[in-house]
């Protein structure tokens, strides 16, 4: 059942993105930024945790999950180190994913050659 919910919730979150692409003039970069900010807000309001509970990777893999990760990181960091956690929490939580992306990008650039995008 976990798998079904992961597919449905993940798919629906992508459909929202597709509607934004097709029906508004938002660029992909703006949609990604919007998703991360929305993830922080939803997590802050406590609305994202139940979705995560239900859908697992269906909620954590879309970029809303990245926003949730940032918000959760800030909460944890503030609990551990007080005020200064406001600054460190987000980056600490995001560090793994961002570092993995940058490393992957760098290695890919080293090995691969750009292809004709058409």
Partner 1 sequence: MKHLSKKEYSELTQKFSPPSKVGRNCLWAFAVGGAICLLGEILRQNFLSMGMEKDLAGLAVSTSLIALSAITTALGWYHRLACHAGAGTLVPITGFANAVVSPAIEFKCEGMVTGVGSKMFVIAGPVIVYGVLASEVYGIIWYFMNRF
Closest CA to 9 of 42, 44, 37: 42
Smallest distance, Å, CB 99 to partner 1? 9
Q: Quick check: 83 binds partner 1 (CB under 8 A)?
A: yes
Q: What is the largest CA-CA distance in the chain?
A: 52
Between 95 and 114, how does the x/- string for binding to partner 1 read (CB under 8 A)?
Answer: -xxx-xxx-xxxxxx-xxxx
Using CB under 8 A as the binding rule, the residues of this chain from 27 to 46 that contact partner 1 are: 28-29, 31-33, 35-37, 40-41, 43-44
How many beta carbons lie within 10 A of that of residue 37, not counting itself?
A: 14
Using CB under 8 A as the binding rule, the residues of this chain from 46 to 65 that contact partner 1 are: 55-58, 60-63, 65
Closest CA to 5 of 49, 56, 79, 80: 56
């Amino acid at each position: 059942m976990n798998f079904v919910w992961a597919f449905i919730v993940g798919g629906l979150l992508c459909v929202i993105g597709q509607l934004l692409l097709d029906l508004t003039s938002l660029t992909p970069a703006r949609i990604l930024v919007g998703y991360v900010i929305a993830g922080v807000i939803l997590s802050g309001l406590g609305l994202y945790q139940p979705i995560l509970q239900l859908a697992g990777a269906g909620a954590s893999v879309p970029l809303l999950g990245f926003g949730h990760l940032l918000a959760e990181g800030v909460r944890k960091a503030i609990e551990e180190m007080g005020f200064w956690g406001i600054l460190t929490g987000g980056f600490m939580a995001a560090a793994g994913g961002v570092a993995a992306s940058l490393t992957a990008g760098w290695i890919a650039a080293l090995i691969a050659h750009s292809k004709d995008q058409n």
